[in-house]
Structures are given as structure tokens and as C-alpha cells.
Amino acid sequence: MKKLLILLLALTMVLAACGGGSEDVATDAEEVASAPESDLFITVATGPTSGIYYPIGGAFSSVIQNDLGFRSSAQSTGASVENINLLLNNQAEMAIAMADAVTQAYEAFGAFEDQEPKEELRGLMSLYPNYVQLVAMADSGIESFYDLEGKRVGIGAPNSGVELNARLMFEAHGMSYDDVNEDYLNYGEAVDQMRNGMIDAAFVTSGIPNATVMDLGTTNDIVIVPIEGEGMAYLEENYPFFVPQIIPAGTYDNDEDVNTATIMNLMLVHHEIPEDVVYEITKGIFEHIATIHSAHNAAKQHINLESVKDGMIVPLHPGAERYFQEVGAIE
């Protein structure tokens, strides 16, 4: 970029000496100044390859590189908390995270206890809701949350968004990990252990339908345990980023709707990326939204201009905010 500008400056001086062409040079200089910053590499932190973060983050990276001209890649990670730390430690430029984990980082509690509030966190857009899916083997006898007592339960990888949710679910029901035999597995690993008879139930917090749960249901009889009643009321009162929702009948061959809690997934962006760059990325995403929608049904159903701030608990990056104001998505 600097070399191009130096060449343009030299050309300007030559043309000025010749008495002409200054308007053309000015136009060329403006085009160079507005061109993509080719030295900027956009790493998009996603989640395990078995989950939904990975294909959706991959679609964002694809648009950024193939359609917008930046260099980019999607990175498989342990998801929410790891992604937030990657962003804070300048190891990622964009990251997907659940709103509860983002809230804990922004306000310094939970997984970010005894740290300074991460008030520099900025949002690009809201993505789609994650459904808390408590999956149990049908022969385990688990029909309600309280039936988990004494059972072997996959609670998510340590400090993952799934595991943070699991902690809050137990808290909401007046229980803790002391009441179960907990196993710190990501939900892909947990579902494999369910299939092998090693654990009785697992927390799968993701969009619906989740491919690993669907796959388990083709070979085993499973139940989706509801989150409802006093437990759901506690969550709404104490952690308002939880919203009650249903897993529709037929999602996993379930005969009836299942009550549960949902949390919005957010796409975060590094606060130091220039406003114009984030504006171009945000604009480009919606100009190529078909690529994003093709990544997963959850993206197709929920990622649109009408929901860009749903559940967004940190300020939008100025570049994203400018684009959304320009198209009338926000005021």
C-alpha cells in the first residue's frame, strides 16, 4: 500500500510538471485508498468441526476472502470462551460466541471472574439462537432435569459455552455438579459416549436440528429433557439473556414440542479493525447472504437484517453500525 502511494505521489509530481492529468491521478489515489487492506488477515474463530459454529464461520470466511478480497480462514476452536480470549489476545479478528459468555466477559463474572471487564468487546451482528438441548438415552429413566441426580452427564468442554450453560442450568434447578457424575466432553464426544453406553445424558447447546443428535437418534432411542417451570423462571429472572422457546415436535422424532431455553449467538469483531474495513465486511456479508444461508438451516432461518441486534449485549462496531443505519436496519 505504501509503495503504491509513493508511486502515485511521484506520478502526480511528474504530471504536475507537465501541466496536466492531476484529476486522473486524484481519482487513482482515491481508488487505492479505498481498496481492501490486503495485508489484513481475518481469522474467524468458530467451534468444533462437529458443531454449527464451524460451517457458519467458514461461510463468513469464504465471503470475506472469495468475494471481498481479504485473506481469511476459519479456525476450529473450543467455542465461546476460547473465542472471546482469542479475540482479546489478538489471535482472531472475528469470533462467534454465545451471549451469556459475552456477558460474563463484558461484566467480569462467571468464567471471567476476578478479571477486568472486557469493555472493548464489539459486535458485528447477531446470528441465530442456540437451544439448550438436554439429550438423554430413553432407557436411562431421565424424564426431568431432577432425574439427572446420580447419572453420568456430559456437560461440555471446560469453559465452553455449553459448559457455562450447564452450570447455570444446574444452578437454576437448585443443583450442582456434585449431584451428578460430570464428564467434561464437547457434545460430539459426549454423544459418542452415549452411543457407547458410557454416559446417560449430555448437554448440547446449539442450533436445531443438531446433526450429532440426529445421528444418535437414528441408532438409539433418545429423549429431549425439557427446561421449564421453576428452572426456566429462575433463568429469566436472574439471567435475562435466556429466552424460553420450544424444540418443535418432529425435530428429533419427538412426538410433542419440548420447552427449553435459548441464547443468541453473536458474531464479534476486533475493536481495532478500522471502521471502513468493518463497514465493507458487513455490507459484503449481506450482499452475499446466500453463501451464509447455505451453510446451515439455522443461518437461513435467522441471519437477516431484521435481527442484527437481537440479544446483542455489547456495542456494535462503528463500521457495522454505519452499515445497518445506512440500510435502515437500526436507527
Partner residues linked to 71 by β-bridges: 41
Partner residues linked to 75 by β-bridges: 45
- Per-residue model confidence (pLDDT) at position 249: 96
- Per-residue model confidence (pLDDT) at position 37: 53
Domain assignment present for 331: no
- Collapsing DSSP to helix, strand or coil, 177 comes out as helix
Instruction: For 263-299, write each residue's pLDDT tens digit.
Output: 999 999 999 999 999 999 999 999 999 999 999 988 9
Q: Are residues 244 and 145 in the same domain?
A: yes
Closest CA to 107 of 326, 302, 313, 324: 313
Which domain-ending residue is among 238, 264, 290? Answer: 264
Structural domain range at position 82: 41-128+265-326
- Collapsing DSSP to helix, strand or coil, 91 comes out as coil
Instruction: For 133-189, write each residue's pLDDT tens digit.
Output: 999 999 999 999 999 999 999 999 887 888 989 999 999 999 999 999 999 998 889
Whether 10 has a pLDDT exceeding 50, the answer reads no
Spell out the residues 6+ positions from residue 10 whose beta carbon is closer than 8 angstroms to its own. Answer: none
Instruction: For 67-111, write each residue's pLDDT tens digit.
Output: 999 999 999 998 899 999 999 999 999 999 999 899 999 999 988
- Amino acid letter, 142: I
Could you tell me the pTM of the whole model? 0.73
Q: Are residues 96 and 208 in the same domain?
A: no
- Amino acid letter, 186: N
- Extract the C-alpha cell encoding 90: 489478538
Q: Are residues 220 and 194 in the same domain?
A: yes
**pLDDT classification of 326: cutoffs 50, 70, 90:** very high
Cis check for the bond before 209: say yes or no (omega within 30 of 0). yes
- Per-residue model confidence (pLDDT) at position 3: 39
The Cα–Cα gap between 170 and 167 comes to 5
